[in-house]
A and B are shown apart, each in its own frame.
Chain A
Amino acid sequence: MTKQPAIELKNITKRFGAKVIANNNVSLTAYHGEVLSILGENGSGKTTLMNMISGIYFPDEGQIFVNGKEAVIASPKDAFGFKIGMIHQHFKLVDVFSAAENIVLGIDGGKYNLKKSTEEIKKISEQYGFDLDPEKKIYSMSVSEKQTVEIIKVLYRGADILILDEPTAVLTPQETAKLFDVLRKMRDDGKCIIIITHKLHEVLSLSDRVSVLRKGEYVGTVNTAETSESELTEMMVGKKIDLNIERSDPKDPQDRLVVKDLDCINRDGVAVLDSISFTARSGEILGIAGIAGSGQRELLEAIAGLQHISQGDILYNDPKSGKTENLRDKTPVQIRDLGVRLSFVPEDRLGMGLVANMDIVDNMMLRSYSKGRSAFLERKAPKDLAMKIIKDLEVVTPGASTPVRRLSGGNVQKVLVGREIAASPTVLMVAYPVRGLDINSSYMIYNLLNEQKEKGVAIIFVGEDLDVLLELCDRIMVIGSGKITGIEDARTVTKEQIGLLMTKTGEEE
């Protein structure tokens, strides 16, 4: 049986503003009864491309064919008309509505009868093996429940072309396996499943074919059965890259930061950190690996004095005085006043580390503005620092008075890391420092971290790319569901071992 094409994209181009080209001349085809993976690095234009199929964006150039006919998809409503449904990475659900209300939202025609709809929802749930209470409010749901609502929402509309954007990013391995089962069932039903991802093993285990995007350009499509991880990687990054990150042995490591039995409970009363204990040593890079949202952010914020700690201690050994300070329950200002030189490059660069609408000089002041007794600001030193960072780190910017929101991702990160390093820290914490950065900028960040390591700074590096963690760090701590599942020597441990530790949760001990 020859498969019928469900979606055909021809020469699609989408620009944002004058400078950013999100998709350039992309053409690809997806068939009924198959799972197609759209593979690409962060920022390769996968989501933008799919948003054009689902009517969120409208292409600047090119054509879309649905079931062989040219289609104009100007709005999500049009997409539903073509039986296209997209499950976004950031769930589009109304928090105060129940699952059923969310599912029937936006459907025209027919009498509004929530009870009848609830019955139909239950039927769909049974058909594919979902577990969902239609009357439960979204705000009291877990992430995987919310995803289930999203999927049933598109099924309820009778979609036979399903697009899933990074569906596993927030799921546990068990939940992922369950989701894949459901997706396979749908494929066997004759539906067309398109899944956006950057995880190779998922591509290999689930999909029939893989289309690869790189920097907004279409690279090619291969059959999963006929490809390998290395071929896909090559397609994704352009050429086979041996990371080749330099790594020196730690010199004279001393215990700089000792974390003991740290517990942390979030606003909803859930334990996000559970008896975390580890030591960060000077002159060494401690990597932290784990599935996104396992407590990495909370851990760094707890150390930086931004999270309330319910139990445990954070001890800092001052290299000069030799004194030990407990940072627990101290505000960032108090920590600074103790003379602790703690620098922190947070995950959310423009929303936390920097102020998007301020220029580079004013962003330099964030750390230092309160120094001195004068009631007025001193802009000379920050300006010099800004000029120095622009020069040393090759920041591409029209000038020091340009708002940082107008810089590209890599340059934003250089500004942020530059500022944090300029404080000559003794402890440096970085969270996903190369996310969304091009290769060159990434290497510049690795080199900066290595320089700091040479200077004897204790570095804590939260990363997502295991290859980078394995080549850059001295030790790797793996965190799963708020617990430490292992601390390994990065020089000897294998990728598989780390992967295994990542998926281990506290209950399995």
Chain B
Amino acid sequence: MAEKTVTKLHREPLFHIVKRDDMVWWKAWGIRAITIVVSIFVMVFISSLLTGKGMIQTFEIMYRGVFGRIETGSFKMLFKYFEEVAILLCLALALTPAFKMKFWNCGAEGQALMGGLGAMVCMIELEGKLPLAVLIPIIAVVSIICGAVWGVIPAIFKAFFDTNETLFTLMMNYIATQIIAYYVYIKGGGSNVIQPVEAGIAPSTGNAHYFINAGIVAVLTLVVYIYLKYSKHGYEISVVGESQNTARYIGINVKKVIIRTMLISGAVCGIAGMLIVSGIDHSIRTASVGGQGFTAIMMAWLGQCNPFITLIMTAIIVFLNTGAGKVADSCHLNSAFADIFVGIVILCVVGCEFFIKYSVKIRGARKGNKE
């Protein structure tokens, strides 16, 4: 008898996964918050093992590395942090409408590069020929158009032929990269570097560009939030994302919505590119966006299509990224440690969604108790 029970226990599924009813929002966010905090602690612990410094000291290095010494009145680091958050957030905001529509735009990198290219071309060709007041709107319009065009090409094929957008947008990134490489080579006179140009939407020196970039993105956050929540377009995006069949049924032109939304998504990426090229670097290279287009995909997803949550997530991740880099630097280890740090934190948050959507019942325990 006992033997039979043992084999039975073995054969029955030990873990039984059940889909949950909706979890209350505060509980769901509680789980996410705990996951983030715990994973950060674990990673800080690992860092301290690696560097031989204590955990508190590691935290301090991170904090100082990101914010500098604010108490002494030196805000430069803080401003720089805001600017970095702004750029990544801008890219994530661009992706949010597309993700809400369940369109996997993995092409933020390329769309931003093309936007940046648009800005760069204007800056180089028109510098000194037009007053800044005329040049700035031209830069803005051109980079928005460039980004939008790069975003809309996959959307057109998605709308008409249902071409896989994940793969299409991914490929578009590298075409953009090569176009930039080509342009840099031509304009850089074979040196692989374009010398910074003076003209741009913000001066390259001083603190002004921090405020301009962060300000533009702050406004953009609000605009995207309102657009998605209160506009008719936003409503159409949700319907198309949830059910194309319903969209058809109530007479939404699904193709039009897909194309329009990707025009917007690409345009906002274009703005991000413009901020980088014309607001910060005043030059362009293939690494101008530096992989942030991919990080933005994760940020937009972690933000659950809510721009304000995306803002919080972005702020956390940029902090960790910069901070972890500084920790590695402090021990002369490679700053790529930051990627490991951030990668693991994101993987943990992605994994914790499981516990929000499903619950695990351990089976066999019931029978085991009987014995």
Contacts and interface: CB of A to CB of B under 8 A. Distances in A.
A406 interface: yes
Interface string A65-91: 000000010100010000000000000
Given A74-B12, A376-B231, A377-B232, A331 B251 contact: yes
A106 interface: no
Nearest to A357: B242
Instruction: Give the most central of B22, B231, B245, B363: most A CB within 10 Å.
Output: B245
A365 interface: yes
Interface stretch (B68-76, B111-119, B233-241, B293-301): B233-241
B10 to A, nearest CB: 10
B162 interface: no
Interface in A124-153: none
A96 interface: no
A403 B230 CA distance: 18
Contacts of A370: 232
Interface stretch (B13-21, B86-94, B335-343): B13-21
Contact of B13 (A74, A331, A332, A377): A74
Nearest to A368: B250
B248 interface: yes
A375 interface: yes
Interface string A338-353: 0000001010100111
A108 B242 CA distance: 40
A156 B102 CA distance: 41
22 contacts: A17-B20, A18-B21, A72-B8, A72-B12, A74-B11, A78-B11, A304-B249, A306-B249, A332-B249, A332-B251, A354-B246, A355-B238, A355-B243, A355-B246, A366-B246, A366-B250, A367-B250, A374-B232, A377-B230, A377-B231, A377-B232, A377-B234
A181 to B, nearest CB: 38
Contacts, number: 79
Contacts of B243: 351-352, 355-356
Nearest to A403: B22
Contacts of B363: 58
Contacts of B18: 17
B231 A72 contact: no
Residue from A74, A78, A333, A352 whose CB has the most chain B CB atoms within 10 Å = A352
Nearest to A375: B231
Interface in A348-392: 348, 351-358, 362, 365-367, 369-370, 374-377
Interface of B: 8, 11-13, 16, 18-22, 230-235, 238-239, 242-243, 245-246, 248-251, 253, 363
Given A305-B251, A375-B231, A377-B231, 8 more contacts: A331-B251, A331-B253, A332-B249, A346-B249, A348-B245, A358-B242, A377-B234, A403-B22
B12 A358 contact: no
Contacts of A355: 238-239, 242-243, 246
Contacts of B11: 72, 74, 78
B16 A58 contact: yes
The 9 closest A-B pairs by CB, nearest first: A332-B251, A333-B251, A352-B245, A355-B242, A366-B250, A352-B249, A72-B11, A376-B230, A74-B13
Given A331-B251, A346-B249, A406 B21 contact: yes
Nearest to B230: A376
Nearest to A306: B248
A351 B246 contact: yes
A351 B245 contact: yes
Interface in A200-255: none
A491 interface: no
Nearest to A15: B18
B235 A369 contact: yes
B263 to A, nearest CB: 16
Contact of A375 (B12, B233, B246): B233
A55 to B, nearest CB: 11
A336 interface: yes
Contacts of B20: 17
Contacts of B233: 375
A387 B81 CA distance: 47
A437 B175 CA distance: 55
Determine the interface band of chain A, counting residues with CB < 8 A from chain B: 35 or more
B358 to A, nearest CB: 11
B22 A358 contact: no
B242 A406 contact: no
A99 to B, nearest CB: 27
Given A351-B246, A376-B231, A358 B251 contact: no
B274 to A, nearest CB: 25
A22 to B, nearest CB: 13
A332 B252 CA distance: 8
Interface in A37-73: 58, 72
A377 B235 contact: yes
B273 to A, nearest CB: 27
Nearest to B20: A17
Contacts of B250: 332, 366-367
Nearest to B245: A352
Interface in A386-435: 403, 406
Contacts of A354: 246
A483 B235 CA distance: 39
A369 B246 CA distance: 14
A358 B238 contact: yes
A72 B251 CA distance: 50
A356 B249 contact: no
Interface string A9-43: 00000000111000000000000000000000000
A380 B361 CA distance: 43
A352 B242 CA distance: 10
A318 to B, nearest CB: 19
A351 B247 CA distance: 10
B162 to A, nearest CB: 13
A139 B248 CA distance: 25
B102 to A, nearest CB: 11
A58 B13 contact: yes
Nearest to A365: B235
Contacts of B16: 58
A336 B363 CA distance: 55
B231 to A, nearest CB: 5
A358 B253 CA distance: 20
A336 B251 CA distance: 9
Contacts of B245: 348, 351-352
Nearest to B234: A377
Interface in A315-349: 331-333, 336, 344, 346, 348
A27 B31 CA distance: 41
Contacts of B22: 403, 406
A361 to B, nearest CB: 11
Nearest to B21: A17
Contacts of B8: 72
Given A72-B8, A336-B251, A352 B246 contact: yes
B235 A344 contact: no
Contacts of A365: 235
Contacts of B234: 377
A374 B13 CA distance: 56
Contacts of A374: 232
B363 to A, nearest CB: 8
A375 B228 CA distance: 12
A71 to B, nearest CB: 10
A134 B235 CA distance: 49
B117 to A, nearest CB: 31
